[in-house]
Amino acid sequence: MSTDVNVKMEALAGVDPDALPLQVKDLHVEFRTRNGIAHAVNGVSFDLRAGETRAILGESGCGKSVTAQAIMGILDTPPGFITGGEILYRGVDLLKLPESERRKVRANRVAMIFQDALSALNPVFTVGFQLAELFRKHRGMSRQDAKARAVELLDLVKIPAAKQRVNDYPHQFSGGMRQRVMIAMALALDPEVLIADEPTTALDVTVQAQIMALLAELQRERNMGLVLITHDMGVVADVADRISVMYAGRVIEEAGVNDIYANPAHPYTKGLLESIPRLDLKGHELSAIKGLPPMLTNIPPGCAFNPRCGYAQDVCRQDPAPPLYQVSPSRTAACHFWKEVKGDE
């Protein structure tokens, strides 16, 4: 379907086919609530290459889903506002596009799988109808062709007896099957970038393995970039190329998957890895990170992690927050003491 992609390219002004499919630069998002301003995203940047898988890791509430919503242009506004930054699709800043253009990008080029599959499907329409609508709206297909494509897609995501199941309603599908339907919808229009927000959290390991294998296969076939949001450290180790670790709305470490797991350079990343139950820890206490993440309405000065950090010194408790230090040519970490944290190889 590569010719198809070229057709799409022309439809959006300013697209540079040689630019990266997705670049987020210094993104800021805040929620203006009765209890004050929640600083949910505070300068997030990352790149995504074609065919690459970038995992975004981080504690619950650190701003992962909000970042994804900002990229997709589906932020809950108000109370949420993007207060700074750029989101570039092949060089075009999506934040500057009118909503009509934005909608085209959302359907065709950058697609998303949501954290909660059931709530993202419409309960009153059949699964097949919802899939077919995409082709009718965005590809101008006839009812019949669209339906045939819907069956093909359900087949692709390995729904057994797709021809019959296409007429079922979402509630007639199991949790794992609904999740696969969501994946089918996201992939329907051949996006170049897929953002998957906890795509397998509700699923057990056997179904999770099937879905991750399916995503990997599609990525290879279509050279699709994948932003994978999850807190499952096992899944990340299995599929990610690069990782951004977030804490309190910031990226605090960015590196290739092997570097992160072998030699974390930020104390928070290190703490996360040490919290994973391991065989040799049976009968022992797990090393949890003590304390709790900060309230986003009241992030402490300096490094947001300092109240929980064993390495913290006075410099960590003072503004400005530590910058992203260059740990090696291909990795960064926002810790004044990254050398001590990382240790020698």
Ligand X SMILES: Nc1ncnc2c1ncn2[C@@H]1O[C@H](COP(=O)(O)OP(=O)(O)OP(=O)(O)O)[C@@H](O)[C@H]1O
Residues that bind other proteins (CB under 8 A): 58-61, 160, 174-177, 202-210, 213, 231-238, 240, 257-258, 261-262, 271-273, 275-279, 281-282, 285-290, 292-293
> Does residue number 199 form part of the binding site for ligand X (CB under 6 A)?
no
Under rule CB under 6 A, how many of the chain's residues touch ligand X? 17
Report the relative pairing of strands 22-33 and 80-89 from DSSP bridges. Answer: antiparallel
Q: Count the alpha carbons within 13 Å of 279 in the hemisphere toward its beta carbon.
A: 0
Residues 6+ apart with CB under 8 A from 285: none
191 touches which of Mg ion, ligand X, other proteins, none (CB within 5 to 8 A by kind)?
Answer: none
Query: Can you tell me the distance from the alpha carbon of 339 to that of 76, in angstroms, rounded to the nearest whole number?
Result: 40
For Mg ion, the binding residues (CB under 5 A) are: 65
Instruction: Output b/e per residue, 150-186; b: 16+ Cβ within 10 A.
Output: bbebbbbbebeebeebbebbbeebeebbbbbbbbbbb
> Does residue number 79 form part of the binding site for ligand X (CB under 6 A)?
yes
CB closer to Mg ion out of 293 and 322 = 293
Q: Count the alpha carbons within 13 Å of 237 in the hemisphere toward its beta carbon.
A: 7
Site for ligand X in 11-50 (CB under 6 A): 31, 33, 38, 40
Say which residue the tokens 């949420």 belong to. Answer: 80
Q: How far is the CB of 237 from other proteins (least distance, A)?
A: 5
CB closer to other proteins out of 92 and 211 = 211
CB closer to Mg ion out of 79 and 323 = 79
Piece of 72-80, 186-194, 283-291, 330-338 that binds ligand X (CB under 6 A): 72-80
Q: How far is the CB of 333 from other proteins (least distance, A)?
A: 18
Site for ligand X in 269-308 (CB under 6 A): 296
CB closer to ligand X out of 40 and 72 = 40
63 touches which of ligand X, Mg ion, other proteins, none (CB within 5 to 8 A by kind)?
Answer: ligand X
CB closer to other proteins out of 190 and 241 = 241
Name the helix (H) or strand (E) containing 47: strand 36-48
Query: Can you tell me the distance from the alpha carbon of 277 to that of 292, in angstroms, rounded to the nearest whole number?
Result: 19
CB closer to other proteins out of 42 and 200 = 200
CB closer to Mg ion out of 53 and 230 = 230
139 touches which of ligand X, other proteins, Mg ion, none (CB within 5 to 8 A by kind)?
Answer: none
Query: Can you tell me the distance from the alpha carbon of 39 to that of 57, in angstroms, rounded to the nearest whole number?
Result: 18
Q: How far is the CB of 15 from other proteins (least distance, A)?
A: 34
CB closer to other proteins out of 11 and 286 = 286
State which of residues 27, 62, 151, 299 lies at the interface with ligand X (CB under 6 A): 62
* Closest residue to bound Mg ion by CB: 65
State which of residues 6, 60, 100, 144 lies at the interface with ligand X (CB under 6 A): 60
Site for ligand X in 219-248 (CB under 6 A): 231
Question: Which residue type sits at 248?
Answer: A
Q: Which residues pair with 89 in a beta bridge?
A: 92
> Does residue number 173 form part of the binding site for ligand X (CB under 6 A)?
no
Query: Can you tell me the distance from the alpha carbon of 263 to that of 27, in angstroms, rounded to the nearest whole number?
Result: 27
Query: Can you tell me the distance from the alpha carbon of 154 to that of 171, in angstroms, rounded to the nearest whole number?
Result: 16
Q: Alpha helix (H) ranges present in 193-288? A: 205-222, 233-239, 257-262, 267-275
Tokens of 195: 């953002």
Q: Tell me which DSSP letter residue 240 carries.
A: -
Quick one: CA torsion of 83, 89, 93, 95, rounded to 10 degrees? -40
